[in-house]
Amino acid sequence: MRPSRPNCRSVPVGPSIFLLVFASLSLPPPAVAQRTTDDDYLLGETQRLEIVVSVIGEVEHPGEYRVSDDTDALELIAKAGGPTEFANLGKVQVRRRVGLVSGEERILRTDLTSFLQDEDAPAPPMLAPGDVVTVPRNKMAKWRTAFTLVRDVSVVATAYLLYLRVEQNR
């Protein structure tokens, strides 16, 4: 007879428990991202090269992103939560370093609207390490800002005119 232990339960060990333990012992350790010798490329969790790029402007979540080295500008915008309602996808720019020593930059302009609507349109540019994708505002954003300003001025003017009318009736 076994000695009893308080707060301990006996668990039957069957073939399914053995398989679960055996399977967990045979799994490879989780992949950890490692830097390669070139600082611009990273070895990702899926054993693919990754690059660090940025997206700014009219996207839901602008910032720096780590993406696979075969990512294009449209995929980066999608990863950043997609464009906002004021995004002008027809004038997206990709700023790219050309010379490491000279610090020279090149601007690539792309029309993602025509790419999404026309199958014959040129594909978005593939991203390189350190690229910055800029999604500009469309004209609707400027009109909305102007209408908001007009609305605010009219509210203040109405309040002032009501104040004058109340003062005259006293």
CA 131 to CA 77: how far, in whole Å? 13
Q: Say if 39 falls within a structural domain.
A: yes
Q: Work out the burial of residue 129: count CB atoms within 10 Å of its CB; fewer than 13 is exposed, 13-18 middle, 19 or more buried.
A: middle
What confidence score (pLDDT) does residue 45 get? 66
In the structure encoding, which two tokens stand for residue 133, read together?
């994708």
Residues 6+ positions from 46 with CB-CB distance below 8 Å: 31
Where residue 170 falls among pLDDT bands split at 50, 70, 90?
A: confident
We report the CATH number of the domain holding residue 123 as 3.10.560.10
The conformation of residue 46, written as its DSSP 8-state character, comes to T
Return the bridge partners of 126, or none. 72
What phi, psi does 120 have (nearest 5°)? -90, -5
Q: Say if 68 falls within a structural domain.
A: yes
Q: Say if 106 falls within a structural domain.
A: yes
Question: Distance of alpha carbon 17 from its chain centroid, rounded?
Answer: 42
Q: Say if 77 falls within a structural domain.
A: yes
Q: Say if 14 falls within a structural domain.
A: no
CA 106 to CA 109: how far, in whole Å? 10
Q: Is the pLDDT of residue 11 over 50?
A: no
What confidence score (pLDDT) does residue 46 get? 67
The conformation of residue 129, written as its DSSP 8-state character, comes to T
Q: Say if 52 falls within a structural domain.
A: yes
**DSSP H or E stretch at residue 134:** strand 132-135
Q: Say if 26 falls within a structural domain.
A: no
Question: Distance of alpha carbon 26 from its chain centroid, rounded?
Answer: 36
pLDDT tens, 62-109? 999 999 999 999 999 999 999 999 999 999 999 998 876 777 889 999
CA 132 to CA 93: how far, in whole Å? 8
Residue ranges making up the domain that contains 88:
34-142
Degrees to nearest 5, angle at CA 44 with 38 and 49: 50
Q: How many CB atoms lie within 10 A of CB 52?
A: 16
CA 131 to CA 116: how far, in whole Å? 22
Q: Say if 156 falls within a structural domain.
A: no
Residue bearing the bigger pLDDT, 36 or 47: 47
For the chain, the domain total comes to 1
pTM score: 0.61
